[in-house]
Amino acid sequence: MSAGKNFENICVISRRGRIYTVEEVSDLLGIPRPTLYRYLREYSIPHLRQSGRISIPEDSFDRIREARDLHKEGLGTESVRRLLREGSGDSGELKERLERVSETLERLRETFAASGFNIRKLAVEIAVTAALPPEPKKAKRPGG
């Protein structure tokens, strides 16, 4: 073998399947590397650390995907951590919660419609307000 050969792309296979570098997982799953590092740290996703390099077993991909999907649904770090810890599997609990929220919204729409309240006008006002830049915070005075 030549001394200059690049061994960086060697496929490692363990008893639990293939092992990937952070860069490979980032490319395969479409998750930015900094986000992937944060997922590994925040959600205790199984990975290997050897000589300062992190390797991720293929078995961890589902958990990484689940964390990504929960974040896409709008959940914060603590909620994602709790759902992963509880083993939410296919996010069934999340789907149930979203269904309850949808039902509640539908009841509110019906209530507003029955009372003659113009929900469309309110929705437009909320959208316009949300699009406005935040008001500057007033500086606190020392000792006040």
CB atoms within 10 A of CB 64: 21
**DSSP structural state of residue 21:** E
Residues 21 and 78: their CA atoms lie apart, in Å, by 26
User: What are the pLDDT digits (tens) for 68-81?
Assistant: 998 888 888 888 88
Give the rounded percent of residues in the chain with a pLDDT score beyond 70: 69
CA 21 – CA 8 distance, rounded (Å): 10
For the whole model, what pTM was predicted? 0.52
Count of C-beta atoms within a 10 Å radius of residue 61: 17
What residue ranges do the domains of the chain occupy? 8-90, 91-133
Average confidence (pLDDT) over 90-112: 73
CATH number belonging to domain 8-90: 1.10.1660.10
The candidate with the shortest Cα–Cα distance to 40, out of 23, 60, 69, 21, is 60
pLDDT range class, residue 104, cuts 50, 70, 90: confident
Model pLDDT for residues 118-129, shown as the tens digit of each residue: 767 777 777 666
Residue 94 phi/psi, 5° resolution? Answer: -60, -45
